[in-house]
A and B are shown apart, each in its own frame.
Chain A
Amino acid sequence: MIIKNKIKRKRKFKNKIGDTMAKKIILKKSERTQLKSKRDEKNKIGEAVKVLNENPNNENWAKFSAELKNSKAKHYKIFYPDALKGKDNLTKAYAVLYDSQFKVLFKIPVISINNKSVNGATIYLKELTLNRR
């Protein structure tokens, strides 16, 4: 009887450990899933940024704009070459996007080029705020 109870207790204990380990495995799996979905998100926006830098047309700006809403970007700052002296080329300007802690996230253009026609594109950043630091 005592041995039976011992075995019972051992099994219960093992099951408890098993449950705990199972919980850990499940948790780790969900963490892994979360990490994976975060990575996928990062890759998605990373891809959108890469495509935008290569070809800043309206279509790619629209795709980037959709990904920007789900990203961590909160602030922006725009950089131009030497201001207004001599011949400036606005196509060299770029914007840097920062997260809420002002950590640098991406670098993107500030213009849109469609059929050799160049237009400004800062309107796509209107959900962000200026980094005045």
Chain B
Amino acid sequence: MIQQNLNELENKAVYLIREANAKLNNIAVLWSMGKDSTTVLYLIRKAFAGKVPFPVIHIDNGIDFPETYEFRDRLAKKLNLNLIVAKSEIKREISGFSCCGANKTVELKKILNDKGFNGLIVSIRRDEHGIRAKERYMSERDKDFKWDYKNQNTEIWNNYVTNTKKDGHIRVHPILDWNEIDIWNYIKREKIPINPLYLSKEGRRFRSLGCTHCTTSVKSNANTIEDIIKELKTTKTEERGGRQQDKEKEYIMQKLRSLGYM
């Protein structure tokens, strides 16, 4: 049953990635070294015979976990990725909202404009946050990265938006209808490498990984992927419970996304 479900999800994701490649001429992939974006990299390899034919962008604000940097460098070498590290500057006086906006979105805008990317493969899922549930498989952004979430395509009969407005781009979400346990089952099946911080040590692990500033660990004894899957079947805490930005007022997340933040 699980395998059938995973096969269907995988097929849909591969279809979306190939469709994006066919319709958009300059695509990049966003990679944060988390379980979702690493899974998407492996889905892209499935779609293109073991290769990742697009540039892979890491928006680096410099305060990620050191384990994340080590994982990035190791996997980029192993998969022979065309890695673009876009270093964002940290503003001296920042509030929680401005941290993400100032640090990451500005840099993302810059790199998309510089390199002329008109498609961006992003690894968000609907079940992560209520705001992300409003996304489409292929979601349009204008030149200012604004997202008109109130006026979107219905995507019936695989009818996706692939025509961009001038200087805009399309966000492609291949794992939009996956949930957390699907990701872990897939990682287990395909033996996808993961950041060691996801596994428990000293009774704590990270269920969702962001930067060192806004991520906290959760109590857990799950130190293998099997244990994580078992834990997820009984947990009552949400996945992004350890992410500070999500604890701010809900409208903040919506505002971030409407302004172009992932």
Q: Chain A residues in contact with chain B, CB under 8 A?
A: 76, 78, 80, 83-91, 93, 110-112, 117-130, 132-133
B63 on interface, CB distance cutoff 8 Å: yes
Quote the shortest CB–CB distance from B60 to chain A (angstroms): 8
Across the interface, do B66 and A111 meet the contact criterion of CB distance under 8 Å? no
CB-defined A-B contacts under 8 Å, sample of 13: A80-B212, A84-B95, A88-B94, A88-B96, A89-B92, A90-B63, A90-B94, A93-B213, A118-B90, A119-B61, A120-B90, A122-B64, A133-B202
Whether B66 pairs with A118 at a CB distance below 8 angstroms is no
Nearest chain-A residue to B201 (Cβ)?
Answer: A132
On whether the beta carbons of A119 and B66 are closer than 8 Å, the reply is: no
Is B99 an interface residue when CB atoms closer than 8 A count as contact?
yes
Instruction: Tell whether, in the assembled complex, residue A122 and residue B90 are in contact, meaning their CB atoms are under 8 Å apart.
Output: no
Interface string of B54-79 (1 = CB under 8 A from A): 00000011111111011001000000
Q: How far is the CA of A112 from the CA of B202 in the complex (A)?
A: 30
Q: Which residues of A contact B197 (CB under 8 A)?
A: 130
Contacts of B93 in A (CB 8 A): 87, 89
Q: Is the CB of B63 within 8 A of A122?
A: yes
- B95 and A83 within 8 A (CB): no
Contact B69 A122 (CB under 8 A): yes
A84 and B96 form a contact (CB under 8 A): yes
What residues of chain A lie closer than 8 Å to B247, measured between beta carbons? 84
Contacts of B89 in A (CB 8 A): 117-119
B residues at A contact (CB < 8 Å): 60-67, 69-70, 73, 87, 89-96, 99, 197, 201-204, 211-214, 217, 244-245, 247-248
A125 to B66, CA, bound (A): 6
Nearest-neighbour CB distance to chain A for B252, whole angstroms, equals 10
A78 to B214, CA, bound (A): 11
Residue among B61, B63, B64, B70 facing the most chain A CB atoms (10 A cut-off): B63
Residues A84 and B244 in contact in the complex (CB < 8 Å), given A111-B62, A122-B64, A132-B217: yes
> Are A130 and B96 closer than 8 Å at their CB atoms?
no
Question: Would you call A126 and B67 a contact (CB within 8 A)?
Answer: yes
| Cross-chain contact of B90 among A76, A111, A123, A124 (Cβ < 8 A) | A111
With a cutoff of 8 Å between Cβ atoms, the chain B residues found around residue A122 in the complex are 62-66, 69, 212
Which residues of A lie under 8 Å from residue B69 when comparing CB positions? 122-123, 126
Q: In whole angstroms, what is the CA distance A83 to B66 when docked?
A: 19
Q: Is the CB of B244 within 8 A of A118?
A: no
Given contacts A90-B94, A129-B67, A132-B217, contact A84 B62 (CB under 8 A): no
B19 to chain A, nearest CB (A): 36
Docked Cα-Cα span, A84 to B96, in Å, equals 4
A88-B96, A111-B62, A129-B67 known, 7 other contacts, Cβ within 8 Å: A84-B96, A90-B63, A118-B92, A120-B63, A123-B69, A126-B66, A126-B69
Q: Which residues of B lie under 8 Å from residue A110 when comparing CB positions?
A: 63, 212
Bound Cα distance A127, B203 (Å):
22
**Residues of chain A within 8 A of B95, CB atoms compared:** 84, 86-88
Residue in contact with B213 in the complex, picked from A90, A124, A126, A128, CB distance below 8 Å: A90
Q: Of the candidates A76, A121, A129, A133, which one forms a contact with B62 in the assembled complex, judged by CB atoms under 8 Å apart?
A: A121
User: What separation, in Å, do the CA atoms of A125 and B69 have in the docked complex?
Assistant: 9
Contacts of A76 in B (CB 8 A): 66
Q: How far is the CA of A127 from the CA of B67 in the complex (A)?
A: 8
B94 and A120: CB pair below 8 A? no
